[in-house]
Amino acid sequence: MDAAADVSTSTKEAKESESSIDLLVIVLDTNPSQRIVRQNPQNLTQILEAMIAFGNAHLMQKAQNKLAVISCSHHASNFLYPLPGRQVEVRQIDGQYEVFSQVEKTIKQQLGNILMNAPRLSAPCESLLAGSIGRALCYISRLQRNTPPGIKMHSRVLVLTGSNECSSQYMTFMNVFFTAQKLGIVIDTCSLENPVSLLQQGCDITSGQFLKVTQLDGLLQYLLWVFLPSPQMRHKLVLPPPPKVDYRASCFCHRELIDIGYVCSVCLSVFCKYSPICTTCHTVFKAPAALPPKGKKKKKTEK
């Protein structure tokens, strides 16, 4: 009886997977001020190669699968693949599926153009990760709207970054994460730097997977092992346990992550210092009769 039930569920799953599209959007951080790129610019090439091989592995799993790649830097985020309208000319290579060479050529050519035309950096600058994830969500929702009826589309976003804390984009990040959660889009993160707590929060909110890769040489293996299986399959696999998520919020006044702060009772803005007027919604507060001595109640985080 059990075996029969197993067979019927597996055929059901197989049928379901045939009529569904898996869309993977990769957000690749190409910011030259990432530590890993500053150490050795060659590392970016290695990350790019691993990312292309991973994207092609996703396309290889099923003919209906779709891939999109967005690059994200300190000044802009751009689509690397697919490009609207025109296609890059690709010469047929014997024995290789044309789509794979198409993906590789398009991404490399496009990224080359972007890096050549990028403004010079005088000081390290944050990557616009939150904006790029937002762009990925817009793209996903557009494709979802155009999906023919009867076909289900499972979408997810993979962020591949070596950037450190980006607390100045706190609000954008939170908006993006809760939108993704509402749309049922999983956000995964593969981090090449010290855990980025905001991205950890995003993975936790959207039930995605967070992984910190310490060895760049094994990047492709890690990507294939942890991020290739679709989120629906993951409960059947033994994956790295989720990290303990640091749920600190960043204050609206200095954009720094804080443990304890003041919260506006009207708009829920967070501040590290007491102020009589909320700078977000302009509500005026009565000063408490006896304000607790400064320094005792508030606690700033030390980096």
Chain contacts with Zn ion (rule: CB under 5 A): 251, 253-254, 264, 266-267, 269, 272, 278, 280-281, 283
Beta carbon of residue 271, minimum distance to Zn ion (angstroms, whole number): 6
Q: Please give the C-alpha separations between residue 59 and each of 34, 153, 178, 195, 280, in angstroms, as whole numbers.
A: 29, 15, 28, 29, 45
Q: How far is the CB of 301 from Zn ion (least distance, A)?
A: 11
What's the rounded Cα separation, in Å, for the pair 275 and 253?
10
The span from the CA of 208 to the CA of 234, in Å, is 10
Residue 248 phi, psi dihedral angles, 5° rounding = -70, 150
User: What totals of helices (H) and strands (E) does the chain contain, helices first?
Assistant: 8, 10
Choice between 115 and 263, CB closer to Zn ion: 263
Task: Specify the residue, 222 or 271, whose C-beta has the smaller distance to Zn ion.
Answer: 271
Neighbour count for residue 300 (Cβ, 10 Å): 16
* CB of residue 267 to Zn ion, shortest distance in Å: 3
Q: How far is the CB of 248 from Zn ion (least distance, A)?
A: 12
User: One-letter amino acid identity for 238?
Assistant: V
Q: Among residues 96 and 275, whose Cβ is nearest to Zn ion? A: 275
Nearer to Zn ion, 181 or 283 (CB): 283
Minimum distance of Zn ion from residue 194's CB (angstroms): 22
Nearer Cβ to Zn ion, position 23 or 278? Answer: 278
